[in-house]
Homo-oligomer: A and B are copies of this chain.
Amino acid sequence: MRTDLKIGFLLFPYMTALDWTGPAQALCFSKAHQLYFVSSTLDPVVSDAGYKVLPSHTFDSCPPLDVVCVPGGPGQQGLMSDAPTLQWLRRQGKGAKWVTSVCTGSLLLGAAGLLDGYRAASHWSYREHLPLFGATPDSARVVRDRNRLTGGGITAGIDFALLLLAELHGPQEAKEIQLLMEYAPEPPYDVGRPELAGSEAVRSVQKRLANEVELAMGRLTHA
């Protein structure tokens, strides 16, 4: 087992925090790598849930990563043409062993040119935008295409991280961490995918998502 791998998460304002806090939790339990929390500056980054996180590294101070992971969320829209972010993703993507995302993070990977010719996952309500970047949408919960590993919406990050652990360190490590995290989910309803939830619920959720940028900005609890 290699013990010097570097795994980095991109943090940005109004990210959907669980997109990366889920994977970071699963990955932190392995001693076989170090986690990096990277943003354009070291200023606190507000999540869409209203709390703030401190980055550990900036684009400049972050070393070359073995795994780069991009979360999604309402703030992703504002970064689709942000040169420093896209340049950092391109630079890290060139050398990384794994180029990965959760939720609408795949659209950011796409904007950086890193999914051209690849199959990829995204949040169900945004998947259709992937072809804009030369990527083929795939409705699987986690999609592997060569060294691209992309997860679906928000909670798919936990399944994604366990599969990444298995790729990096073998299934035994992934299994022990799944047990450590007591990951035997019992969703209270059978509505976690649009085809299960029905068209009325889908429309209602899409209405919520259309206002999600503004809503997220209204959630900041801090003074």
Contact = CB atoms under 8 A, between A and B. Distances in A.
A182 B202 contact: no
Interface of A: 16-18, 21-22, 24-25, 27-29, 31, 34-37, 44, 48-54, 56-57, 103, 123-124, 141-142, 152-156, 158-159, 162-163, 166, 171, 174-176, 178-189, 191-194, 196-197, 201-202, 204-205, 208-209, 215, 219, 221-223
A188 to B, nearest CB: 5
Contacts of A182: 103, 123-124, 152-156, 192-193
A79 to B, nearest CB: 20
24 contacts: A17-B25, A18-B25, A21-B21, A22-B22, A29-B208, A31-B215, A34-B221, A35-B50, A35-B219, A37-B221, A52-B53, A54-B54, A54-B222, A141-B186, A153-B182, A171-B189, A175-B197, A176-B205, A179-B197, A180-B208, A182-B193, A184-B196, A185-B185, A185-B192
A76 to B, nearest CB: 15
A37 B47 CA distance: 13
Given A44-B54, A221-B56, A179 B202 contact: yes
Contacts of A183: 154-155, 185, 187, 192
Contacts of A179: 191-194, 197, 201-202, 205
A131 to B, nearest CB: 20
Q: Can you tell how many copies of this chain the complex includes?
A: 2
Contacts of A24: 17, 49-51
A89 to B, nearest CB: 20
A72 to B, nearest CB: 11
Contacts of A181: 18, 153-155, 192
A209 B18 CA distance: 23
A209 B181 CA distance: 11
Contacts of A36: 221
Contacts of A215: 31
